[in-house]
Structure 1
Amino acid sequence: MSSSKRRVLIAGAGGASLGTETLKALAMTGRYEAVVADVSPMAYGLYQPQAAAGHVLRVESYMDDLIACCQREGVGLLVPGAEATLKLINGARQRLLEAGITPVLNRSEVIQACSDKSITFDVLKKLGIPVPQTRVLTCAEDLDDFPVPCIIKPATETGGSALVSAASTRTEALMYAQWIWTAGLKAIAQEYLPHSDGEFTVGVLRFGSWTGSIAMKREFPCKLSYLLKNEKFLISSGYSQGLIDVFPEVCAQAERIAVALDSQGPLNIQGRFVNGMFYPFEINPRFSATTYLRAMAGFTEIEIFLNHLAGEDSPPKPQIKPGYYLRSLAEMYVPADRIKNAL
C-alpha cells in the first residue's frame, strides 16, 4: 500500500456496475487506493487491475465481514457500489462510524425519500418541482382513469431499469403491474414522457454551499443503452452514453431538485426535456455508473466528495470537456485457481 494514498473500500462490484465504474474513476485521481469487496467470487471488480485488493464476503455475516475487511485493509472510507449495499451501509451508518469508517453517502432522509419512487415524486410535487403524473397501484381500479400510454415499474429496486415496462393500453398496464405484484414489490404507474427533445442523465453533487452538476444527453445507438425502442416507446437501460455538454436549463432544474431535497452528497437524476422543462422520472441518491465517463469529462464527483469528507477546501467548479462519451462491455480472463474464496 502506498502511504501517500487514502484507502477506500468499494462494496459491490459486479460487471459494468456502479462499483466497477467508481473503481476506474478513483484510479484516475492518483490520490486514492481502492479495495473491492463483493458477495460473489465472480464479481468482475474483484479482478480489475485498478483494485488494490479484492475480497469475497459472506452473505450471512455481511456487515461483520465488511467492517473487519475495512479494518484489516486500513480503509477509512466506504463507498457503496450497488443499490443493495447502499441500503445496508445506510442502515449501519452509526455502527460504521463507531468503527472508524466513514460511509460515503447522502443524508439518510434523502436516501429514504429517493429509495421509494412512490414517495420521491410525492415529495417533489409538494416541493413545487414539476414531475410526471405518478400513482401507486394497489388494484386494477387504480388504472381506470390513469392516462395511457404509461410506464409501469416497481417503486423500489429498479436499478438498470429492472421490471420497467411500457403499456399502450390499461390491459397491458394491469398485466405488467401484476408481474411486479407477483414479485412481491410495490407497483407504480407513471406518465410516459416523449423523448423527442432529449433524455438526460444528470449528476448533482452538493454539500454545504457547494453545488456542481453535469448532464449527458443520452444517445441510443445500440441495444446496450435501451430496453425497448420502437415507434411508440423508448425505455433506456442502465448503461448511459451520449453527449456531455453545457445544458444550462437541464442542470439548473436538477440543482433545484437537489436543493429542494436538501441533498448533501451525490444525486443522480434521469429525466426528459419536454416543452422547455426538465422532468425527472428516476432519482437515485448515490453516484451513477456514469461516474467514470463524468470523470473523463472533468467532473470528478467522487474525488471531490471524498476530499470534502477528508476536510479539504471546496474546489472551484469543474470545467467539463464537451463531447461524446461512449461505452461498451469489457472481457476478462481469470484462471480457475485465481477465483477468490469468502473470508
Structure 2
Amino acid sequence: MVERPTVLVTGLGSYGEQILKALRQPEAAGCRIVGTDTDPFCIHFALVDEAVVLPRADAPEYVEAVLAVCARFGVAAVFPGCEPDLDRLSGACEEFRQRGILWIANPQATIELCRDKLVTGKKLAQFGFEPPKYELVRDAGDLAKIDWYPLVVKPRTAGGGSKDCYIAQSRRELELLLEYVGNDVGLFAQEYVGTPESEFTVGVLLDLDGNLINSIALRRELVSQLNLKTSVVNKSSRAQLGKRLVISSGVSQGEIGSFPEVTEPCEKLAVAIGAAGAINVQCRLVDGKIKVFEINPRFSGTTFIRAMMGYNEPDTLVRRHLLGQTIEPHFAYRHGRVRRSLRESIVAERPARDWRQLADEQ
C-alpha cells in the first residue's frame, strides 16, 4: 500500500481516455499514471506522467512489452483501456499477479461470456432475464427461422461502439447483410425492441472480489450524428417502435441518475454472471422490464461522465484495492444531464517513447 500508487492505463486512444480523465479528477486519489497507446502522437499523452508507445495487442511481443513497462515504472495496477488489450491481457493476468501487479478488470471467464453474444443470450435466459429474440445466422437455411423483423444484425463476438451493427427490416435486407458482412462464426440477429427514448447504458461496479459497490444509469438522448450509428425510417408493421429505428454509437450523452427500474435488475445480472470490477449493460426498458442487448465487461465510454457526477469507478477501485480504504456501498452521487462535443488539440511535437527505448535508458 502506497500513498501515490503508479498505475498503467493502456489504449488511451480508446476508452482508456475515459479511465485516464476519471483518475485525473481533482477529488481522485492522485495516481502517478503511465499511459500507453499504439499511436506515438496520441493527444492524451499530454495528460499522463509517462507516455509509452506499445505494439498492437495482436503482436507476439505485446504481453512482454506491457510487463516491461510495468517493471520500468514500478506499476502497481493495470487498467486495460481498449477491447483488444482487455482480451489479450486477460489471458496473462496470472503473470501480473505473480509480479504483484493488480489486474483491474473482470475475470477472464466473465469477459469470454460477455464476448460471445450467443452464450450471453443463453445465460440471460438461464438467469431469468428475458433477452430480445435472437438467432445465429450462418447461411440461407437460418433465414427461414426468423419472422420477427425488424432486427439488429451484429458480429457474434466483436463488440464496442456498435461496430459492424446494422438494421434489417426484411428477409431480403438480412440476405444482403449476410453476403456483405458474413463470416465463419455467423452473424448474430437480434430482435429490435423498444424505442430510442427507452435506451439506457447502465454501469455496475463491483470490487475485484465480486462484492457489489454501486450502479448508475444514463438514459441516452440520441439526437445528433455524434451519438447515432444508424437511423432509418421504420418501414415495418410495428409502429410501436417509433417513426425511426436507430442504433446508438459509442458516444453516449443524456440524463444520468440512479434509475432503479434499470439499475436494480442490472445489479442482479452483474452478480449472476460473476462480474468483478466494472461492467456495462446496454438495454432498453420495455413494458417495465429491461431488455439487455449487450454486456460489455469493461469500463464504459461514459466513465468520465459518471466521474463528473461523483461516481468515479477507476478511482473507487484504486481506493479500495491499492489504498485499502473502505468504500460505502451505494454511495451518493449527483444526478443531471450531460452533453458531449468534439474538441480539437494541437499534438505535441515530441513523440512518446517506444517501449524498447526504456531498456536503453536504464
1:313 to 323, 326, 338: 326
Matches within 5 A, 1:238-249: 238-249=250-261
What value does the CA root-mean-square deviation take over the aligned residues?
1.8
Distance 2:287 2:223 in 1: 24
Aligned partner of 1:44: which letter?
A: I
Name the CA distance, whole Å, in 2 between partners of 1:22 and 1:242: 19
Cα gap change, 1:178 to 1:240, in 2 (>3 Å)? same
Q: Structure 1: how far apart are the matches of 2:263 and 2:280?
A: 11
Counterpart check, 1:228 vs 2:237: no
Secondary structure of the equivalent of 2:161?
A: helix
Deviation of 1:341 (Å): 4.1
For 1:78 and 1:176, how far apart are their aligned partners in 2? 38
In structure 1, give the amino acid aligned to 2:255: L
Report deviation, 1:342: 5.0
SS in 2 for 1:136: strand
Q: Hey, what's the Cα distance between the residues in 1 that align with 2:186 and 2:267?
A: 28
Deviates further, 74-83 or 258-267? 258-267
Which residue pairs with 2:299 in the alignment?
Answer: 287
Which of 262, 265, 272 is the equivalent residue of 2:274?
A: 262
The unaligned stretches of length 5 or more in structure 2 are 235-244, 357-362
- Encode CA deviations 1:269-300: one digit per residue, 9 max, x unaligned: 01101111111111011110100000111111
Displacement of 1:203 in angstroms is 0.2
- Separation in 2, partners of 1:255, 1:316: 12
Give yes or no for contact 1:156–1:186 (8 Å, CA) kept in 2. no
CA distance in 2, matches of 1:55, 1:197: 41
Which of 292, 298, 308 is the equivalent residue of 2:310? 298
Paired position in structure 2 for 1:51 = 48
Q: Please, which runs of 5 or more residues in structure 1 have no aligned partner?
A: none
Query: Which position in structure 2 is the counterpart of 1:161?
Result: 162
Q: Structure 1 residue aligned with 2:342, among 303, 311, 329? A: 329
Cα offsets for 1:45-97 (capped at 9, x unmatched): 3x23x211110123441111111101111111000100000011101011121
Look up the equivalent residue of 1:178 and give its one-letter code.
E
What displacement does 1:122 show?
1.0
| Alignment check: 8 A CA contact 1:55 1:342 kept | yes
Residue number in structure 1 paired with 2:359: none
Shift of 1:339: 5.5
- Compute the TM-score of the two structures, normalised by the length of structure 2: 0.88
Q: Which has the higher contact order (CA 8 A, sep 6+)?
A: 2
CA distance in 2 between partners of 1:338 and 1:108 (Å): 34
- Between 88-97 and 30-39, report the one with greater CA deviation: 30-39
Aligned-pair identity in percent equals 34
List per-residue Cα deviations over 1:113-165 (Å, max 9, x = no partner).
00111111111111211111111112122121311111110012221111100
Contact 1:180 1:186 in 2 (8 A): no
1:175-223 CA-to-partner distances (Å, cap 9, x unmatched) read 22333325x5531100001215510000001234433100000012210
- Give 1:320 deviation, angstroms: 2.0
The answer to whether the aligner puts 1:20 opposite 2:21 as a matched pair is: no
Counterpart code for 1:218: R
Aligned to 1:186: 186
- Contact (CA 8 Å) 1:272, 1:279: kept in 2 or not? yes
SS of equivalent to 1:224: coil
What is the DSSP-based 3-state SS (H/G/I as helix, E as strand, rest coil) of the residue aligned with 1:317? coil
User: How far is the alpha carbon of 1:4 from its aligned partner?
Assistant: 3.5
- Relative to structure 1, the CA distance from residue 5 to residue 186 in structure 2 (aligned partners, 3 Å threshold; closer, same or farther) is farther
Alignment coverage as a number of residue pairs: 336
Residue type of the alignment partner of 2:253: Q
Secondary structure of the residue aligned to 1:22 is helix
Native 8 Å contact 2:198 2:285 kept in 1:
yes
The 3-state SS of whatever aligns with 2:79 is: strand
Cα distance, 1:169 vs structure 2? 0.5
Q: Aligned equivalents of 2:228 and 2:138: distance in 1? A: 28
Tell me which residue corresponds to 2:37: 38
Given that 2:256 and 2:337 are in contact with CA atoms closer than 8 Å, whether structure 1 keeps it comes out as yes
Q: 1:24 to 1:185 in 2, by over 3 A?
A: farther
Contact 1:197 1:273 (8 Å CA) reproduced = no
Contact 1:13 1:37 (8 Å CA) reproduced: yes
Deviation larger for 76-85 or 321-330 = 321-330
CA contact (8 A) 2:215 2:258 kept: no
Q: CA deviation at 1:337?
A: 4.2
CA distance in 2, matches of 1:206, 1:99: 24
What is the one-letter code of the residue matched to 1:12? G
8 Å contact 2:205–2:278 — kept in the other structure?
Answer: yes
Task: Give TM-score scaled by structure 1 length.
Answer: 0.93
- 1:185–1:241 distance in 2 versus 1, CA, 3 Å: farther
How far apart in 1 are the matches of 2:186 and 2:142? Answer: 13
2-structure distance, mates of 1:33, 1:337: 21
Query: What CA distance in whole angstroms lies between the structure 1 residues aligned with 2:211 and 2:158?
Result: 31
